[in-house]
């Protein structure tokens, strides 16, 4: 048996949740097995504005708010080029908590058992009610959050990514700032032959919150869906994917301001550069379809 996999945790913060951040770091430190290395990225705020970090936790600051993917990429690089100083990088929200002390061991076991396993998405549950929101189960058939399965995307703030994925598929798309950055990486990882699993037995506690709490939510969700399609899908599927989401958005009947923000983002997605275009192969499209989520919805 080889040495246990080395785990590193990346935690973004802007210093607004000091109590929750300390509790999260304590829960990471309490994990069984070899210590998980932790890096806290002060995203657009000075490290001096944060509470003193526990011994052994590294802090990195950025001169400006790079958004979620950009900040997480800084954290990846804190573990060497493409995270090469560790075997697996965990992404954890700063208001999350690992309530089980064996999650790190479960993560090591999962990646050790399956060499082609590239990404693990954790189950997220509200600490008060124990509820897992439907949007936190990364598949279309989300009625049973206790059912683990292979999936085609993952939840960024409660996940673990094998470092080799960054080497083969690239890091998160920093230009997205917020929204769909995980799906962009997931599609590229699937195209490179990696598996993605939703694991109900690996748990992150996180308060139940609406995604619309982010001021840029409606605009970025629309813009980034267009960018996601333009960057990654075969040309034939680009209008299909964006058209399906246009119809779904209208069917949900958002408020006037929300709809205006959505259309503003949708328009920007077509008019602005989306980054390098590397369409996934049709066999990857078929693979995603067999997994229950073809890249048209």
pLDDT tens digit at each of 297 positions of the chain: 679 999 999 999 999 999 999 999 999 999 999 999 999 999 999 999 999 999 999 999 999 999 999 999 999 999 999 999 999 999 999 999 999 999 999 999 999 999 999 999 999 999 999 999 999 999 999 999 999 999 999 999 999 999 999 999 999 999 999 999 999 999 999 999 999 999 999 999 999 887 755 558 999 999 999 999 999 999 999 999 999 999 999 999 999 999 999 999 999 999 999 999 999 999 999 999 999 999 999
Give the pLDDT score at 49: 93
Residue 83's nearest CA partner among 4, 159, 164 is: 164
Cβ-contact 90, 159 below 8 angstroms: yes
Distance CA 285, CA 118 (A): 18
Cβ-contact 5, 108 below 8 angstroms: yes
Per-domain residue ranges for the chain? 7-209, 212-290
Give the pLDDT score at 1: 60
Give the pLDDT score at 199: 98
**pTM for the predicted model, two decimal places:** 0.96
Distance CA 52, CA 68 (A): 22
Angle between helices 256-271 and 217-232 (to 10 degrees): 30
Cβ-contact 200, 125 below 8 angstroms: no
Top-tier CATH class for 7-209: alpha beta
- Strand residue runs (E) in 22-82: 37-42, 58-61
């Amino acid at each position: 048996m080889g040495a246990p996999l080395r785990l590193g945790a990346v935690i973004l913060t802007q210093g607004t949740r000091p109590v929750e951040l300390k509790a999260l770091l304590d829960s990471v430190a309490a994990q069984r097995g070899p210590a998980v290395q932790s890096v806290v990225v002060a995203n657009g705020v000075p490290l001096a504005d944060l509470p003193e970090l526990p011994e052994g936790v590294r802090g990195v600051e950025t001169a400006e708010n790079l958004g979620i993917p950009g900040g997480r990429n800084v954290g990846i690089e804190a573990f060497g080029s493409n995270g090469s100083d560790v075997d697996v990088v965990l992404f954890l929200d700063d208001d999350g908590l690992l309530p089980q002390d064996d999650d790190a061991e479960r993560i090591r076991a999962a990646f050790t058992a399956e060499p082609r396993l590239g990404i693990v998405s954790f189950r997220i549950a509200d600490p008060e009610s124990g509820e897992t929101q439907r949007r936190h189960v990364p598949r279309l058939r989300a009625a049973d959050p206790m059912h683990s399965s292979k999936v085609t995307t993952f939840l960024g703030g409660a996940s673990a990514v094998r470092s080799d994925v960054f080497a083969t598929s690239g890091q998160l798309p920093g230009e997205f700032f917020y929204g769909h950055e995980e799906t962009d990486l997931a599609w590229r990882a699937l195209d490179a032959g990696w598996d993605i699993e939703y694991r109900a037995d690996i748990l992150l506690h996180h308060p139940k919150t609406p995604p619309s709490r982010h001021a840029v939510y409606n605009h970025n969700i629309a813009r980034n869906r267009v960018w996601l399609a333009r960057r990654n899908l075969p040309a034939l599927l680009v209008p299909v994917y964006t058209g399906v989401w246009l119809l779904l958005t209208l069917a949900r009947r958002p408020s006037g301001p929300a709809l205006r923000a959505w259309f503003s983002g949708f328009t920007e997605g077509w008019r602005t550069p989306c980054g390098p275009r590397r369409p996934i192969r049709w066999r990857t499209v078929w693979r995603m379809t067999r997994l229950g989520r073809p890249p048209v919805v």
